[in-house]
Amino acid sequence: MCATCGCGPESHHHHGHDHHHASGKKIVEVEKDILHENNLLAQRNRGFFEGRNILALNLVSSPGSGKTSLLERTLTDMKGELSFAVIEGDQQTTNDADRIHATGTKVTQINTGKGCHLDAHMVLHAVQGMKLEADSVLFIENVGNLVCPAMFDLGEQERVVVISVTEGEDKPLKYPDMFHSSTLCIINKIDLLPYVRFDVEKAKQYARQVNPSLEIIELSCTSGEGMQLWYEWLKSKVLQPA
């Protein structure tokens, strides 16, 4: 069970159904309270980011899609073009934060323990200790999970969902909330397409079935193919300082 949102077999069983039992009603009320408080803090985060002209991106995916590898290559290739900082979210370890730190980028680790996602309060606390530069880009790498992170606004301007060709192309249909709430979908590890059964066009069709306005970029962090498209998208989202 998630220590933050209380999700687990019992609570997820009640999502989207009529709640006739007292226990089910209580679960819904607690969830509403948690999300209401989170949304207020997310608005506070968003105001801070906008006030300092910081582009905040929430990177979400299932485990192993390549979010950290995407960040490593981006931070290395774009060093000097933009100012970056990273918040790393994992249940345990500082492994990913150590990889980001090795690129020379300012990074803060958030370990959620039993929690399955980051929330706005965690991000607020992390940002307060980071001394972020104005006119910069903040990557928030969320916990690997395509369910609960979809519910929690962190105050980001853009939500980027990453899938890889080593996963099923039906991920958008299985986890529609995440794809519906994202602005960009990155299909990663396309260098492996000759070796796996993954229909890129079908994946894109499913993603746009859930979210017709979703932008999609195909790339490989390993070969570099498609990375320039990602960099151009990123630079197009950076606000020019007043």
Tokens (6 digits) for 220: 């490989």
The dihedral region occupied by 113, where left means phi > 0, alpha psi between -120 and 50, and beta the remainder, is: left
Does residue 135 lie in a domain region? Answer: yes
Query: Is residue 186 within 8 Å of 163, Cβ to Cβ?
Result: yes
SS3 193: helix
Rounded CA separation 111/45 (Å): 19
CATH code where residue 33 lies: 3.40.50.300
Q: What is the pLDDT of residue 240?
A: 56
Does residue 3 lie in a domain region? Answer: no
Q: Is the pLDDT of residue 188 over 80?
A: yes
Does residue 2 lie in a domain region? Answer: no
- Whether pTM > 0.95 for this model: the answer is no
Does residue 74 lie in a domain region? Answer: yes
Does residue 159 lie in a domain region? Answer: yes
Count: domains in the chain: 1
Q: What is the pLDDT of residue 139?
A: 98
Q: What is the pLDDT of residue 68?
A: 97
Domain assignment of residue 155, given as a range: 9-237
Q: Is the pLDDT of residue 129 over 70?
A: yes
34-65 pLDDT tens trace: 899 999 999 999 999 999 999 999 999 999 99
Does residue 32 lie in a domain region? Answer: yes
List Cβ neighbours of 75 (8 Å cut-off, separation of 6 or more). 84, 86, 100, 103, 104, 105
Does residue 196 lie in a domain region? Answer: yes
Mean pLDDT of 68-75: 98
Mean per-residue pLDDT of the chain = 90
Q: Is the pLDDT of residue 143 over 70?
A: yes
Does residue 1 lie in a domain region? Answer: no
